[in-house]
Structure 1
Amino acid sequence: MQSVMTSPDNEEIRSLTALLLPLTDRTLIVPNVAVAELIPYRAPQGNDDLPDWFLGLVNWRDLRLPLLSFEVASGEPAVAAGNQARILVLNAQGGRSHVKFIALLVQGIPRAMKVDSELAAADVPLAALELAAVDADGIMAKIPDLLALENMLAEHGII
């Protein structure tokens, strides 16, 4: 994550707010501007003959969003939605005019934290779709490749 940015009026921004996303077997970290909303879990509809990481479609604000499992997309076994499961609505990154949002299954409520250039990189093995790992206040957090997730949806004709 880049921590020194400029605002529209060219003032330096030295930190940003990130969200720690609890999954079943890891924690992801994303800038909070990547997130549109956190909603209660609801069972997705339809998933016939599609990859296991695509959990189905969920309704959100008059839209049907593809819901996916990051764990399965990155090569781990399928996980069930636990009793703390939520759906994280992410702003799409790929510039497709017909795709504004995608949804990700998370296993709890994300936690906000400020990050800056002092965020320490961690030298740990990365799974597919993980760009890097960081030590976020003592929590090992992985930076997900959100664009790759969106591209996977497109490659399979889901979006």
Structure 2
Amino acid sequence: MSQTPALTSTPENLTGLLLSLTDRTLLLPNVAVAELIPYRPVAKLANQPDWCLGQVAWRDLRLPLLSFEAASGAPLQFDRNNTSARVAIINALGGRAHVRFLAVLVQGIPRSMRVTPDLESAEVPLGPLELAAVKHQSEIVKIPDLIALEEKLAEIGVI
């Protein structure tokens, strides 16, 4: 009788997306990004910090649009006339039943990246919303803490 080897669901590599921001590049799992849409005008929210740019309309929803860089403590660097600006619709991970998506301002179109076990970590300072940094070719990319980002939005009452 031959034995069937145990099935493992650990893939040898995953596909990630590199999201360019004004001052850094983020690496997210491909499945974390629900959709990429062109930047569109936002509905401003009263009494919100600069990093919360307002609410953007997407599929009959109003999602909080944020600047990841400014939410991490960097100065807000957003030119509303920038034609390369896009909005990444991110799947929410925080377990709130009423929050399924967040919107993050990005610069340009995300690039695909193979994430393999031999990806080298980068010893660089991390911001408050960053979990880790890795080297990809000649670039340092940061892995964001999406749950902490969602918590930050909850703290200001927009979700």
**TM-score > 0.5 by shorter chain:** yes
Q: Which residue of 1 aligns with 2:54?
A: 56
Q: Which residue of 2 aligns with 1:80?
A: 78
Greater shift in the superposed pair: 134-143 or 22-31: 134-143
Q: Which residue of 2 aligns with 1:6?
A: none
Q: Where has structure 1 moved over 6 Å in runs of 4 or more?
A: none
Q: Which residue of 2 aligns with 1:12?
A: 10
Percentage identity across paired residues of the two chains: 59
Tell me if 1:138 matches 2:138. yes
Greater shift in the superposed pair: 60-69 or 77-86: 77-86
Point out where structure 1 has 5 or more consecutive residues left out of the alignment: 1-8
The TM-score normalised by the length of structure 1 is: 0.91
Aligned residue-pair number: 151
The TM-score normalised by the length of structure 2 is: 0.91
Greater shift in the superposed pair: 129-138 or 33-42: 129-138
Distance, in Å, in 1 between the alignment partners of 2:9 and 2:135 is: 27
Give the letter aligned to residue 57 of structure 2.
N
Deviation at 1:76, TM superposition (A): 0.4
Tell me if 1:25 matches 2:23. yes
Bigger-Rg structure (1/2): 2
Distance, in Å, in 2 between the alignment partners of 1:41 and 1:21 is: 14
Give the letter aligned to residue 12 of structure 1.
T
1:95-152 deviation line (CA, Å, top 9, x unaligned): 1110100000001110011111111000111122111110012221001111111011
Point out where structure 2 has 5 or more consecutive residues left out of the alignment: 1-6
Distance, in Å, in 2 between the alignment partners of 1:19 and 1:138 is: 16
Deviation at 1:11, TM superposition (A): 3.5
Please give the secondary structure, in 2, of the residue aligned with 1:125: coil
Distance, in Å, in 1 between the alignment partners of 2:64 and 2:29 is: 21
